[in-house]
Amino acid sequence: MKLKPMRNNVNMFIKSLGLILIVATQLVVTVQAQNSKTNVYVWDFKTGDETIEKYAEKFTDDFETELIKLDKYTVLQRRNHNLVLAHRNMENAISNVKNLPTETVDKLKTIKAEMVVFGELMEDTDSGIYEVTVFFQNLGNGEIPKKESVIIQKALIKSNTHRKDYMKNLIGKLHAKEIIEAKNKQFGFISKKMDTYMIRVKDVQTAFDDTIVNALDYEEYFKDLENTIKAYNSIFSDLNDNGEKYLLDFESVFGKAYGKDFESVYKGIIDNIHKKHILKLNDIRKKIWDYQKKQNNKKERERIKKDIIRDSKNSTIGLNTAIDNVENDMDKLFSKIKEDLRES
């Protein structure tokens, strides 16, 4: 047995070390990209009325929970940072980063906070209502990019369900622009996918309809048919493989009601159009191949041709109905969404 020269071993070690460093660098870049959300710290909401102080605390928790659900920020859990909690006694006296002691600002920066959320619960005794006002403030320069408020009926402040709904509504008002942008982006993406599918499936329907009007007599038809089927398979594979992700993404932006409607449209494509009708066209496609191969057997070609025309006619009638039903459901859903977007 021969040992490899030491120089070769050193070279191999250097190459391996270089590869490890490249991989490590790529991992760091990936992690940084994934952690690109703004770090937010929610300061305890203040109130000038001790009788409603417990509700200010509850609104803080509810707001923080809804902010986490939004999945736009990295929300720094207040209860996990004892250094900041050491200043809990001063929280009700502070509602602006400019009023924070330098030591507290430094500690917020230590936990990598970039934005601080301040809130205040106030009572309007004359109107018999409460109001929660919230604003986001940049820890570095003190700028306030977001500020909104929500009116709360006095009788509902004790209701846990209503308090959560109010904070959810407040989150929506604070991020109205981002929510509309997300809806427009998601709607544009999904509507393009659906439109592409409907165009392709109608192309398939037309291709098999053409067999009824003597398209089999033209050699180019066979090539065009295969190209049409290939184009259909491409968009169907996309919807079939990524359907679950598309459904979840759509629902996360538009909510459960619209999510359920979109799921109905999606199932119509998979179950009613594809499984019930498109798959049956494979048998006709095989007969078309046989027809094309039997160039020298006129009698056999004529028999196969009659079968193809009969089967195509029967199949495309059902396919046409399934397409119309799904398209009708899709148009209704998209019309409602467009109307909502215009009113936003």
Which stretches within the chain are classed as H helix? 6-34, 53-70, 82-85, 102-110, 160-174, 176-210, 219-254, 256-267, 281-293, 298-343
In this structure, are residues 312 and 207 in contact, taking their beta carbons and an 8 Å threshold?
A: no
Structure tokens that stand for 317 in this block? 């009638």
Higher pLDDT, 282 or 335: 335
Radius of gyration of the chain (CA): 32
Q: What is the average pLDDT across 209-221? A: 63
Instruction: Give Dmax over CA atoms of the chain in angstroms.
Output: 98
pLDDT band at 216 (very low <50, low <70, confident <90, very high): low
Q: Which long-range contacts (CB under 8 A, 24 or more apart) does 292-295 make?
A: 292/222
59 close to 162: Cβ distance less than 8 angstroms: no
Q: How many CA atoms lie within 13 A of 163 on its CB side?
A: 18
CATH of 38-174, one of 3.40.50.2000, 1.10.1240.10, 3.40.50.10070, 1.10.357.10: 3.40.50.10070
Quick one: residue 62, left, alpha or beta (phi over 0 = left, psi -120 to 50 = alpha)? alpha
* Confidence class for position 33, pLDDT limits 50, 70, 90: very low
Burial class (CB in 10 A: 0-12, 13-18, 19+), 162: middle
Which strands sit side by side in the sheet containing 73-76, from one edge to the other?
A: 73-76, 38-42, 115-124, 129-138, 146-153
Assigned token pair, 74: 């990295």
Dihedral sign (CA 100, 102, 104, 109): positive
Q: Which two tokens stand for residue 7?
A: 């120089």
Q: Mean pLDDT across the stretch 41-59? A: 92
pTM of the model: 0.69
pLDDT: which is higher, 145 or 280: 145
Structural element, H or E, at residue 69: helix 53-70
Cα 199 to Cα 279: distance, rounded to the nearest angstrom:
18
SS3 156: helix
**In residues, how long is the chain?**
344
What does the angle CA 195 – CA 184 – CA 241 come to, to the nearest 5 degrees? 50
Q: Comparing 9-23, 80-94, 109-123, 171-185, which segment has the lowest mean pLDDT?
A: 9-23
Domain ranges of the chain: 38-174, 178-343
Instruction: Take residue 32 and report the two structure tokens written for it.
Output: 């940084």
Question: pLDDT per residue over 221-251, tens digit each?
Answer: 777 888 998 999 999 999 999 999 999 999 9
Q: Give the pLDDT confidence score for residue 25 in this predicted structure.
A: 46
